[in-house]
Amino acid sequence: MKRLLTGLQPSGELTLGSFIGGIKQSVKFQDEYESFIFVPDLHAITVPQDPLLLKERIKKNVALYLACGIDPNKNIIYLQSENLYHTNLSWILECHTYMGEASRMTQFKDKSKRYDNVSVGLFTYPILMAADILLYDADFVPVGIDQKQHVELARDLAGRFNNKYGTTFKLPEPLIPKIGAKIMDLQNPTKKMSKSSEDIKGLIFLLDNEDVIRKKIMSAVTDSDNKVYFDPENKPGISNLLTIYSALSDLDIKQVEEKFKNYNYGNLKKEVADIVIEKILEIQKKYHEYMDSGLVDEVLNKGLKIVQEIAQNKYNEILKKVGLGRI
Ligand code: TYM
């Protein structure tokens, strides 16, 4: 059975973008593939974090995974920081990564502009991500478009390692959703909806209440054309709303365009708000149940046992090939 693996950083509250680009595909494929979903908490500290908030968000992430439809009986769910093999492998991979290729990562270029002091961890972050993926021989990595370059780096590193030491790693493939690979900020629709944005008016958080969601969608930035059709380049705001509707309904973009072609922007926004609220309230109901139960710890304990064993075997194989240790 092919393996699928993904994770969402607890660096901020999860958004509608995180759900559509990151979680939804894992839910869709959980019956078809052996599925791993983890919390990359070590990635979160590549930028400054408040320890108490971080701890709380780690638990919230897991409860949200479950509430979004990740079935704990079909997925192995765990925390990155609890399995030390991730960082061990990351070091070995760092020693096989060229400065030039690491310097080409566009997310580092963007994120490093936001901080006065940029950590070395922010620079090496894609290599830790490669370790997360390669440690488990994942075939597919469901991600939004912003993470595609990082999965490609993982693939390059796997290929380089295999060439040097003999076949060791699978070459992972990114699984990018056809619709919703990049949900845009509602206030700035040429920019990704990002959980770490400072202006939260353009973000829908999975834990926002109904009134807040409606208000944010009703005040989404659009254009003055007043015609509803899909054209991301010239009509980014409207196209983003159509994309959100499409991702949350069973309709493709053409069908959504057809449905709304005679709507004015106000009525379109109202229907988009309705479908977003319906989905998010459904998630929130389950989320509260899971937060109040012992289920989060239960699935994490079970997941950790499984991944530690898989990772230890893989890591021993790697040590041997590289000539490290005494095995
Ligand atoms: P992160 O936490 O930034 O985002 C989690 C997932 O959500 C997707 N995503 C979006 N998709 C569409 N539109 C958006 N506005 C949007 N915002 C976020 C992201 O593409 C991602 O799929 N480095 C990763 C976490 C990670 C990881 C891994 C992922 C660490 N190790 C191994 C997969 C495999 C990250 O920061 O994603």
Q: What is the tens place of the pLDDT at every residue in 180-216? A: 999 999 999 999 999 988 899 999 999 999 999 999 9
What is the predicted pLDDT for the residue at 312? 98
**Band of residue 15 on the pLDDT scale cut at 50, 70, 90:** very high
Show the 3-state SS of 200-225. HHHCCECCCCHHHHHHHHHCCCCCCC
Mean pLDDT of 11-22: 96
Cα of 123 to ligand 1 centre, how many Å? 16
Distance from C-alpha of 231 to C-alpha of 234, rounded to nearest angstrom: 6
Cα of 15 to ligand 1 centre, how many Å? 11
What is the predicted pLDDT for the residue at 250? 81
CA-CA-CA-CA torsion for 197, 198, 200, 203, nearest 10 degrees?
Answer: -10
Closest-CA residue, ligand 1 atom 14, reads: 17
Residue % of the chain over a pLDDT of 90: 97
17 touches ligand 1 (CB under 6 Å): yes
pLDDT at 238 over 90: yes
Q: Distances from the Cα of 287 to the Cαs of 16, 54, 78, 220, 294, in angstroms?
A: 15, 18, 17, 27, 12
**Band of residue 268 on the pLDDT scale cut at 50, 70, 90:** very high
**Ligand 1, atom nearest to 180 Cα:** 12
Cα of 47 to ligand 1 centre, how many Å? 15
Closest-CA residue, ligand 1 atom 5, reads: 8
Which residue is associated with the tokens 């920081």?
A: 81
What is the predicted pLDDT for the residue at 327? 78
Prediction pTM value: 0.97
**Band of residue 84 on the pLDDT scale cut at 50, 70, 90:** very high
> At 6, phi and psi to the nearest 5?
-155, 170
What is the predicted pLDDT for the residue at 278? 98
64 touches ligand 1 (CB under 6 Å): no
**Ligand 1, atom nearest to 15 Cα:** 17
22 touches ligand 1 (CB under 6 Å): yes
**Band of residue 71 on the pLDDT scale cut at 50, 70, 90:** very high
Cα of 9 to ligand 1 centre, how many Å? 7
By annotation, the residues acting in catalysis are: 111, 192, 195
Going across the sheet that includes 34-39, the strands are 75-79, 34-39, 3-7, 140-142, 173-175
What is the predicted pLDDT for the residue at 198? 86
What is the predicted pLDDT for the residue at 81? 98
41 touches ligand 1 (CB under 6 Å): no
pLDDT in tens, 271-317: 999 999 999 999 999 999 999 899 999 999 999 999 999 999 999 99
**Ligand 1, atom nearest to 43 Cα:** 30
pLDDT at 48 over 90: yes
- Please state, rounded to an integer, the average pLDDT across all residues of the chain: 97
Ligand 1 pocket test, pick from 27, 87, 143 with the greatest ligand atom count within 8 Å of Cβ, gives: 143
Show Cβ contacts of residue 70 under 8 Å, excluding neighbours closer than 6 positions. 23, 26, 27, 30, 35, 37, 77
Q: Distances from the Cα of 199 to the Cαs of 31, 109, 185, 188, in angstroms?
A: 38, 20, 10, 10
- Residue 308 pairs in a beta bridge with none
